[in-house]
Structure 1
Amino acid sequence: MCSAGSRIRRRLDLYRDGWSRARVDRAVASGTLVRLRRGIYADADTCTPRRTAAQHGGALACVTAARHLGLWVLTPSGDQHVGLTHDGHGLAHAACACVEHWDQDRTDRFATPGVIRILRQILLCRGVEEFFVAVESALHLRAIAATDIPRLASGLSADARRALQFARDDAESGLESLLRWRLRHLNLDVRTQVSVYSVGRVDLLVGDALIIEVDGVENHGGADHRHKDLRRDARAAAWGFVTLRFDYALVVHDWPTVEAAILGLLTRGLHRR
């Protein structure tokens, strides 16, 4: 994420702000201003994704903008999505593989759009599932409030509106949101971030006895982390709970295995105490 206040401006904007040609040249020479392409400049602390978007002729959009704001998204971080104005032009650049979104506000073509627009872009570009995960992340981070949901829902498909009705603000990771979303058709009692006696908070509790823990890509850990997990699971078992653990790769890329494991325990009634 960029430092607060970092800007991308046209040379004309700099002149309007009172800069002289000599001052622009001195700033570029000193490194406090970076020339992105002809007539376009960025403050030195502007992040790489915003610089890339400006080189392409626009602003961050969709999942790239969401990631920039700290929202959890499924799309790999290598994807670069750029918002362009209807009267603008996409400009190819070195190693350009940008995904274009032609709905940027023309008043500031380099400004990151608001969260509502970003979420709508994700829906149109990536589908309902990733939209739902991003919405729950935005709610949890207070990037949007419950009062914003009607405005976000306006004009959306029935599937998207149902996703908004299902969304909550208590999931602390996108994997928790994704797992609850993919289990919804089973009509289970799935709660997130539940406090379990002798264990502490768990990611999800299905029924009153099945604990599901999901570890993100940043939580592979070492022996110490593994020991803590085993200790938690043993304490849970002592009080009649059954624990399933899944990592990022299983939840995102091998869902049939995850669902089969959960269903296997449910059919044996192990989600009840």
Structure 2
Amino acid sequence: MPVREALVHAAQCLSSEAFFAAFESAWFQRLLSRSDRAWIRSRVPTRLRVLLDFARPDAESGLESILRLRLRAVGITLRTQVLVPGVGRVDFVIDELILEVDGELGHADSRSRHKDLLRDARAAQAGYRTLRFDYALVIHQRPEVLGAILGALKQR
């Protein structure tokens, strides 16, 4: 079954967030052409079309998609996949706040953890504060994640 058809079927049984994450993931992996995206948009329920209009091709994980969608719902605008000098590319930036969403892949061992901490230290040297969230936090502890972000934004 073509990816575009699978996504239309998924729209009928997944939550809005899960559908959005699947759509952005397919787009990021270059599995959807412009005409595919238009075809999908014309076949999904109206409530999902606004999500497709918000979708971007640069979300490297479903967790990034979900967090960005949740922050949008509370009126927080952020920049995605930002190159921070001395640090590298980060998932999100809101003013001087960096948000990183760490899935298990690539962040589970001590070497990867050290690399992340070094990036955070370099970001702090450049005047940024970094908040990191893993899968369990993003998916199962939404109030804590939102509270941490809002708290950090109040401090600026």
Q: Does residue 263 of the first structure (1) align with residue 138 of the second (2)?
A: no
Measure, in 2, the Cα distance between the counterparts of 1:146 and 1:168.
12
Percent identity between the two aligned chains: 50
Structure 1 counterpart of 2:87, from 194, 199, 204: 199
Q: How does 1:9-158 map to 2 (within 5 A)?
A: 113-158=1-46
Alignment-derived partner of residue 72 in structure 2 = 184
Measure, in 1, the Cα distance between the counterparts of 2:26 and 2:113.
30
- 1:237-260 deviation per Cα after TM superposition (whole angstroms, max 9, x unaligned): 111101000111111111111111
Q: Does residue 217 of the first structure (1) align with residue 85 of the second (2)?
A: no
Structure 2: where are the runs of 5+ without partners? Answer: none
Measure, in 2, the Cα distance between the counterparts of 1:188 and 1:239.
23
Measure, in 2, the Cα distance between the counterparts of 1:263 and 1:146.
35
- 1:208-249 deviation per Cα after TM superposition (whole angstroms, max 9, x unaligned): 211011111223422222221111111101111010001111
SS at match of 1:143: coil
Rg: which structure is higher? 1
SS at match of 2:19: helix
Q: How does 1:156-167 map to 2 (within 5 A)?
A: 156-167=44-55
Alignment-derived partner of residue 250 in structure 1 = 137
SS at match of 2:32: coil
Q: Contact (CA 8 Å) 1:205, 1:212: kept in 2 or not? A: yes
Q: Contact (CA 8 Å) 1:176, 1:192: kept in 2 or not? A: no
Q: Contact (CA 8 Å) 1:139, 1:146: kept in 2 or not? A: no
Q: Over aligned residue pairs, what C-alpha RMSD do you find?
A: 1.4
Measure, in 1, the Cα distance between the counterparts of 2:50 and 2:12.
16
Q: Contact (CA 8 Å) 2:81, 2:90: kept in 1 or not? A: yes
SS at match of 1:142: coil
SS at match of 1:219: coil
Runs of 4+ that moved beyond 6 A? none
Q: Contact (CA 8 Å) 2:11, 2:44: kept in 1 or not? A: no
Q: Displacement of 1:189 after TM fit?
A: 2.6
Q: Contact (CA 8 Å) 2:8, 2:43: kept in 1 or not? A: no
What amino acid maps onto 1:169 in structure 2?
P
Output the TM-score relative to the length of structure 2.
Answer: 0.93
Structure 1: where are the runs of 5+ without partners? Answer: 1-112
What amino acid maps onto 1:120 in structure 2?
V
Measure, in 2, the Cα distance between the counterparts of 1:135 and 1:141.
10
What amino acid maps onto 2:74 in structure 1?
L
Alignment-derived partner of residue 55 in structure 1 = none
What amino acid maps onto 1:132 in structure 2?
F
Q: Does residue 175 of the first structure (1) align with residue 82 of the second (2)?
A: no
- 1:145-188 deviation per Cα after TM superposition (whole angstroms, max 9, x unaligned): 23322211114322210010000101111111111011112333
Q: Displacement of 1:205 after TM fit?
A: 1.2
Q: Contact (CA 8 Å) 2:71, 2:77: kept in 1 or not? A: no
